Chains A and B, each alone.
Chain A
Amino acid sequence: AQSVTQLGSHVSVSEGALVLLRCNYSSSVPPYLFWYVQYPNQGLQLLLKYTSAATLVKGINGFEAEFKKSETSFHLTKPSAHMSDAAEYFCAVSPYNTDKLIFGTGTRLQVFP
């Protein structure tokens, strides 16, 4: 079965610092991987997706993620954190050609001034 593991339930950074949120996947077939963001009291929104094209994927709000097969990782990064980035971030995996997403446990990002 496919799954994702998010390392670190909470990450704190200063405004302007690098953001790195970690996600490792487990899959017996090439996975489709996603990052979603949840702002307080809202549903989730798609940040970016990897579907076996380019390994470096750019998303909204300056975020990007790199698919590394050798490390079974799909970490999310942003060069410079902004206060508005404070939210909970979820990594997800999907079986081939379905919209059935399996989510990780989430990482809450805090940004300090």
Chain B
Amino acid sequence: NAGVTQTPKFQVLKTGQSMTLQCAQDMNHEYMSWYRQDPGMGLRLIHYSVGAGITDQGEVPNGYNVSRSTTEDFPLRLLSAAPSQTSVYFCASSTGQGSWKLFFGSGTQLSVL
């Protein structure tokens, strides 16, 4: 029972570097999303996807790109990392269509120096 798998668990970047956070789910879920969690700010939605080939912006999309070429994978790309992107990132998935039960990965802790 893999569920939602995020890699890496920890990452340190220098300002200006780019990288991709990986997210994969094996539950055949249509809906996938990325959140960032910051102290005192809860979870904020970055991008989401309601199915392969369809993505949309959330509350805080600037500085991030996503694509959804398959049902299983939903990578998050940081184009040019900034210290403000230091955060814990969570990927989540659900069956979609108003099921509302999100399954979360275990998170990626990212530090940008």
Interface residues of A (CB under 8 A from B): 6, 9, 32, 34, 36, 41-46, 49, 51, 90, 94, 96-106
B42 at the interface (CB under 8 A from A): yes
A-B contacts at CB below 8 angstroms, number: 67
A61 smallest CB distance to B (angstroms) = 16
**A101 contact from B41, B45, B97, Cβ within 8 A:** B45
Residues of the A chain whose Cβ atoms lie less than 8 Å from the Cβ of B43: 44, 90, 103
B30 smallest CB distance to A (angstroms) = 9
Interface size on B, as a range, is 20 to 34
**Knowing A9-B40, A100-B45, A102-B45 touch, does A45 contact B100 (C-beta < 8 A)?**
no
Q: Please report which residues of chain B, range 85-106, place their CB below 8 angstroms from some CB of chain A when the two chains form the complex.
A: 90, 92, 94, 96-106
Listed A/B pairs (22) with beta-carbon separation below 8 Å? A9-B40, A32-B100, A34-B100, A36-B102, A42-B106, A43-B4, A43-B104, A43-B105, A43-B107, A44-B104, A49-B101, A51-B100, A90-B42, A99-B33, A99-B96, A99-B97, A99-B98, A100-B48, A100-B58, A101-B100, A103-B35, A103-B42
